[in-house]
A = this chain, B = another copy of it.
Amino acid sequence: MPDDPWQPPRILLAVDLVILTLRAARLHVLLVNRGIDPFRGAPALPGGFLADEHEDIEAAARRELAEEAGLSGVHLEPLGVYGEPGRDPRGRVVSVAHLAIAPRLPEPVAGTDAVHASWTPVDDILAPGAELAFDHRRIIVDGVERARAKLEHTALATAFCAESFTISELQQVYEAVWGVRLDPRNFYRKVQGARGFIVAVGPMRKPSNGRPARLFKAGPVHVLTPPMTRP
């Protein structure tokens, strides 16, 4: 059996984006409505194929981030690979999922290309009965879990905030992502105790009511010592 010189298979490579942000003290993820046929009309994660054979994977993720969400300069990190053979009816598609964190209050969509993007509370889209294209439900679950875990040991929470923020705003990030209530006094002590996590900038006044809060910005350290422990 003189089989021809074996050639490895060629597959399609895509990137998908789990973009998280905070809106109204709830964790939201950016979803688009699919316009083309596999899962047409269903909500899906922003993403797409590599533009050409020489495009870097992270560059493709940043390109989709700008094209489909109008975002740039946000936190972006690889999340995982999703390549189960039957996940895409069009053929063998392997997707490299990325996790992006957007600061609060980015304009509702501001999409340049796909205007069909919208922020959706993760609780709603992960509730039983909600439908998502492909295996994007699993990808969102993994992305949220990654964010929850990294909030404990890294300064990722500052990526949810604007350049300067108050400690209670930072606390809202932890409460929304973890889905718990935290004691403001203990939170204050712990955040201040983690060296290099946040540094003071100046005082401000809160628009509503109450004592004005000090303003902070993200510090130089990305690994928290001691870590923030989840209840």
Partner-B contacts on A (CB < 8 A): 8-14, 49-50, 52-57, 78, 80-81, 83-85, 91-92, 94, 96
- Whether A94 contacts B10 in the complex (CB less than 8 A), given A78-B80, A78-B81, A81-B78, comes out as no
**Residue picked from A9, A78, A94, most chain B C-beta under 10 Å:** A9
Q: How many copies does the complex hold?
A: 2
Q: Determine whether the beta carbon of B13 is less than 8 Å from that of A53.
A: no
Q: Determine whether the beta carbon of B8 is less than 8 Å from that of A10.
A: no
Q: Determine whether the beta carbon of A92 is less than 8 Å from that of B12.
A: no
Contacts of A56 in B (CB 8 A): 83-85
- Whether A52 contacts B13 in the complex (CB less than 8 A), given A78-B80, A96-B81, comes out as no
Q: Determine whether the beta carbon of B9 is less than 8 Å from that of A94.
A: no
Q: Determine whether the beta carbon of A54 is less than 8 Å from that of B85.
A: yes
